[in-house]
Amino acid sequence: MPELRKDPTSETWVIFSPERQRRPQFFTAHGEYTLTSANCPFCEGNEDMTPPEIHSLRIANTTHDKPGWKLRVIPNKYPALKVEGLLDKRADGFYDKMNGIGAHEVVIETTSHTRGIDEMEEDTVYEIFLAFKHRILDLKRDIRFRYIQVFKNHGIQAGATISHPHSQIVALPVIPARTTDRLEHAQSYFAKKERCLFCDIVQHEIRFQQRLLLENGEFIVFAPYAPRLPFELSLYPVHHYAVFEEMEDAALRKLAIIFRDAIGKINKALDHPPYNMILHNAPFSKDNRYSEHFHWHIELLPIISGTGGFEIGTQSFINPMLPEESIKILKNDK
Amino acid sequence: MPELRKDPTSETWVIFSPERQRRPQFFTAHGEYTLTSANCPFCEGNEDMTPPEIHSLRIANTTHDKPGWKLRVIPNKYPALKVEGLLDKRADGFYDKMNGIGAHEVVIETTSHTRGIDEMEEDTVYEIFLAFKHRILDLKRDIRFRYIQVFKNHGIQAGATISHPHSQIVALPVIPARTTDRLEHAQSYFAKKERCLFCDIVQHEIRFQQRLLLENGEFIVFAPYAPRLPFELSLYPVHHYAVFEEMEDAALRKLAIIFRDAIGKINKALDHPPYNMILHNAPFSKDNRYSEHFHWHIELLPIISGTGGFEIGTQSFINPMLPEESIKILKNDK
- pLDDT tens for A211-224 read 999 999 999 999 99
Average pLDDT rounded to a whole number, residues A113-124:
96
Asked if residue B217 lies in contact with residue B255, where contact means CB atoms within 8 angstroms, the answer is no
Nearest CA in chain B to A153: B310
Q: Which among B178, B271, B316, B319 is the top mutation candidate for probing chain A, defined by the most A β-carbons within 10 Å of its own β-carbon?
A: B316
Q: What is the spatial distance between Cα B46 and Cα B39, in angstroms, rounded to a whole number?
A: 8
Residue B75's pLDDT is 97
Looking at this protein, which amino acid is placed at residue B182? Answer: R
Strand order, beta sheet including A12-16 = A90-92, A95-99, A3-7, A12-16, B317-319
Are A3-175 and A178-331 equal in CATH topology? yes
Residue B195's pLDDT is 97
Residue A309's pLDDT is 67
| Nearest-CB residue to A20 (from B156, B308, B320) | B320
Average pLDDT rounded to a whole number, residues A293-315:
86
- Looking at the structure, give the CATH architecture of the domain made up of residues A3-175: 2-Layer Sandwich (3.30)
Q: Any idea what DSSP says for residue A27?
A: B
Residue A310's pLDDT is 77
Kindly give the confidence (pLDDT) of every residue in chain B, 334 residues in length, as a single tens digit, with 9 standing for 90 and above.
899 999 999 999 999 998 888 888 877 777 788 888 889 999 999 999 999 999 999 999 999 999 999 999 999 999 999 999 999 999 999 999 999 999 999 999 999 999 999 999 999 999 999 999 999 999 999 999 999 999 999 998 888 989 999 999 999 999 998 999 999 999 999 999 999 999 999 999 999 999 999 999 999 999 999 999 999 999 999 999 999 999 999 999 999 999 999 999 999 999 999 999 999 999 988 787 889 999 999 999 999 877 666 787 788 899 999 999 999 999 986 5
Give the dihedral of Cα atoms B70, B74, B76, B81; nearest 10 deg.
Answer: 140
- A264's CB contacts (< 8 A; 6+ apart) are A118
C-beta atoms of B226 and A13 within 8 A = yes
Looking at this protein, which amino acid is placed at residue B29? Answer: A
A310 chain-B contacts, CB cut-off 8 A: 151, 153, 158-159, 276, 278
Collapsing DSSP states into helix, strand and coil, what is residue B106? strand
Cα A193 from chain centre: 30
Q: What is the spatial distance between Cα A113 and Cα A164, in angstroms, rounded to a whole number?
A: 5
| Nearest-CB residue to B307 (from A10, A299, A312) | A312
pLDDT tops 60 at residue A321: yes
Residue A333's pLDDT is 60
pLDDT tops 60 at residue A263: yes
Q: What is the spatial distance between Cα A64 and Cα A56, in angstroms, rounded to a whole number?
A: 8
Q: Which among A22, A23, A212, A310 is the top mutation candidate for probing chain B, defined by the most B β-carbons within 10 Å of its own β-carbon?
A: A310
Measuring CA to CA, which residue among A230, A246, A205, A10 is closest to residue B8? A205
Q: Strands A166-172 and A103-108, how do they pair?
A: antiparallel
C-beta atoms of A314 and B151 within 8 A = yes
Catalytic, A166? Answer yes
C-beta atoms of B310 and A177 within 8 A = no
pLDDT tops 90 at residue A186: yes
**Per-domain residue ranges for chain A?**
3-175, 178-331
Asked if residue A83 lies in contact with residue A103, where contact means CB atoms within 8 angstroms, the answer is yes
* Between B311 and A181, residue with greater pLDDT: A181
A5 phi and psi angles, rounded to 5 deg? -125, 145
Please count the residue pairs, one from chain A and one from chain B, whose beta carbons lie less than 8 angstroms apart: 252
Q: What is the mean pLDDT of chain A?
A: 94
Strand order, beta sheet including B233-237 = B55-58, B69-75, B103-108, B166-172, B147-154, B275-280, B297-302, B233-237, B219-222, B212-215
The complex's ipTM?
0.94
pLDDT over 90 percentage in chain A: 84
Residue B310's pLDDT is 77
Collapsing DSSP states into helix, strand and coil, what is residue A131? helix
Measuring CA to CA, which residue among A214, A253, A216 is closest to residue A233? A214
Q: Which of A104, A154, A166, A293 is catalytic?
A: A166
String of DSSP letters for B126-151: HHHHHHHHHHHHHHTTSTT--EEEEE
pLDDT band at A25 (very low <50, low <70, confident <90, very high): confident
| Nearest-CB residue to B276 (from A227, A309, A320) | A309
Tell whether domain B178-331 is in CATH 3.30.428.10. yes
- A325's CB contacts (< 8 A; 6+ apart) are A334, B18
B12 chain-A contacts, CB cut-off 8 A: 226, 315
C-beta atoms of B228 and A312 within 8 A = yes
A237 phi and psi angles, rounded to 5 deg? -70, 140
Asked if residue B141 lies in contact with residue B127, where contact means CB atoms within 8 angstroms, the answer is no
B95 chain-A contacts, CB cut-off 8 A: 225-226
Distance from CA of B97 to the nearest CA of A (A): 9
Which one of 3.30.70.20, 3.10.580.10, 3.30.428.10, 3.30.465.10 gives the CATH number of domain B3-174?
3.30.428.10
Q: Which among A26, A156, A225 is the top mutation candidate for probing chain B, defined by the most B β-carbons within 10 Å of its own β-carbon?
A: A225
